[in-house]
Amino acid sequence: MKKIKIFRSLRDIPYKEDRQIQSLKLTSDCYTNLTLIRPRLSEEPKHRIFITVTGKRIFVVYLDENDPALTKLWDRLKLIVQKPVSGIHYLMRELKDNRNSLFPQGQLMENQEQAAAALAQGKFLIMLEDEPRLLVMPVNLFSLFRSNQSSESHWLFFFGLPLMGILAIAAAIFLPALFVAVVAYDYYLIPTNFINPLADSLARAPFSPAMMALLSGITLDMLFEASAHCKSIAKMAVPISAAIVIVLGAVTTGMISGGLATVYGISAIAALAIPDPELTRATRVLKYAAIVLGAIFGVLGVVVTAALTVAHIVALQSLGQSYLSVKSLLTEERLLNPFSLNGRTKDRGKNHE
């Protein structure tokens, strides 16, 4: 009889890419991680070990000893080791420059290649015992977008992807708010041939535009959370099917305007296009602030939210280094080939000599 091979669940199907990624993953042993990263660098990385009160070890790996950011890191770690460190997220929160900020000031990595590239750029790797991920500090906004690319990408993507990431942040935060503000106050911004169908769909809706935007936003966030709690293949299937059902139902019954549904679709895709999960979460929260200000003050409110957000990001620091500076976009040319020679940025190299 012919044997039929049955997969126990869809989860067991091995993907080709998955296997490749698996081979590059970090382990939960810090020494093994060190030996995995070392051959990827031209220079021997240095490391320092901190032991917390509960006996857990924290490894800090770095290349340049004279970095001023390193002294800041030592000062903070000396305080942290006096408390029981429960996990890498705790460490990440405690090492923040501005604790109240929603924006991530460190980056979690699971991949050897990415970790080595970050080290080669002069960043520090912070590893916690029994943790298969490591924390990279200091980061800036642009480096958060560059994390999941291969180091051999074309230069165009190295400058293009961060710019697209910023567009994605802007769309995720401000698009629904802009829609609300324009529809509620500044309707003369809408082209005349589009205003009729839009007004039609808005007139049928039982809620005001601001209310509609808030309710849709909350529904969308619940979908995000639901997908996070589902397991394996349901992770993708549940939100997709739910989104289709909800949007289709809401638009056909006239509960929400079709224009708003489209805007939210774009905003949701933009939020998911941001590679850093903590950054995505920040945009999800800021979205509500923008909607509320946009609903009260119109487009001016949205612009003020944008100005305040940029002001906040500009004032942020990661281990004392600027979070958003033109320099960080333009001077990472070593990133193009981080494993050549002693793969550090130019000025860092000079300091070392």
Partner 1 sequence: MNEQNQISAKQLGIYIIGAQVGVGVIFVPQKLAQNSGHDGWISLIFGGIISICAAILIMLLLQRYRDQSIFQINRLLFGKIAAVAINFLLLLYLFYLAFMGLRAFAEYILLIQADQLSLLAVSILIIAPTVYLTAKGLAAICNFSYYLVFFLGMVVVLAGLVYPLHWNFLLPVGASGLPPLIKDIPICSNSYLGFELVVFLYPMVKDKRRALFWVVTANLISMFFFVLVFVLEAGLFGEEMLKKTIAPLFQLPQFIRFGIKERLDMLFSLLWFPFLESTLRAYFYACYSGSVNLFGIRKNKMFLAVFTIGFILINLIPKNLNHFFKLTDYINYSGMGVIGFLLVCYGLSFFLERLKQT
Residues that bind partner 1 (CB under 8 A): 185-186, 188-192, 297-301, 303-304, 306-308, 310-312, 314-315, 322, 324-326
- 3-state SS string for the chain: CCCCCCCCCHHHCCCHHHHHHHHHECCCCHHHHHHHHHHHCCCCCEEEEEECCCCCEEEEEECCCCCHHHHHHHHHHHHHCCCCCCCHHHHHHHCCCCCCCCCCCCEEECEHHHHHHHHHCCCEEEEECCCCCEEEECCCHHHHHHCCCCCCCCHHHHHHHHHHHHHHHHHHHHHHHHHHHHHHCCHHHCCHHHHHHHHHHHHHCCCCHHHHHHHHHHHHHHHHHHHHHCCCCHHHHHHHHHHHHHHHHHHHCCCCCHHHHHHHHHHHHHHHHCCCHHHHHHHHHHHHHHHHHHHHHCHHHHHHHHHHHHHHHHHCEECCEECCCHHHHHCCHHHHCCCCCCCCCHHHHHHHC
* 141's tokens: 């906004």
Min dist. Cβ of residue 170 to partner 1 (A): 12
Pick between residue 177 and residue 306 the one whose CB is nearest to partner 1. Answer: 306
Q: For partner 1, which is the closer residue by CB, 130 or 347?
A: 347
CB of 174 to partner 1, least distance (A): 12
Shortest reach from residue 142's CB to partner 1, in Å: 13
HSE (side-chain half, CA atoms, 13 Å) at 33: 30
Q: Residue 188 CB, nearest distance to partner 1 (Å)?
A: 4
Give the integer Cα–Cα distance in Å for 232 and 114. Answer: 25
We find the least distance from the C-beta atom of residue 348 to partner 1, in angstroms, to be 18
- Quick one: 156 or 326, whose CB is closer to partner 1? 326
Closer CB to partner 1, 31 or 194, in the complex:
194
Residue 315 Cβ, how far from partner 1 at the closest point, in Å?
A: 4
**Number of other residues whose CB lies within 10 A of the CB of residue 282:** 22
Question: Would you say 147 or 328 has its CB closer to partner 1?
Answer: 328
C-beta separation of 173 from 165 below 8 A: no
Query: Is the CB of 59 or the CB of 174 nearer to partner 1?
Result: 174
Nearer residue to partner 1 within complex by CB, 239 or 294: 294
In the complex with partner 1, which residue's Cβ is closer, 245 or 296?
296
Shortest Cβ 39–partner 1 spacing (Å) = 38
Q: Tell me how far, at minimum, the Cβ of 299 lies from partner 1, in Å.
A: 5
Tell the smallest beta-carbon distance from residue 276 to partner 1 (Å). 21
| Minimum CB–partner distance for residue 51 and partner 1 (Å) | 31
103 in Cβ contact with 39 (< 8 Å): no
| Helix axes of 258-273 and 155-184: crossing angle, nearest 10 degrees | 150
Total residues found in the chain within this entry: 353
Taking the least distance from each CB to partner 1, the nearer of 53 and 330 is 330
Q: Identify which of residues 182 and 214 has a Cβ nearer to partner 1 in the complex.
A: 182
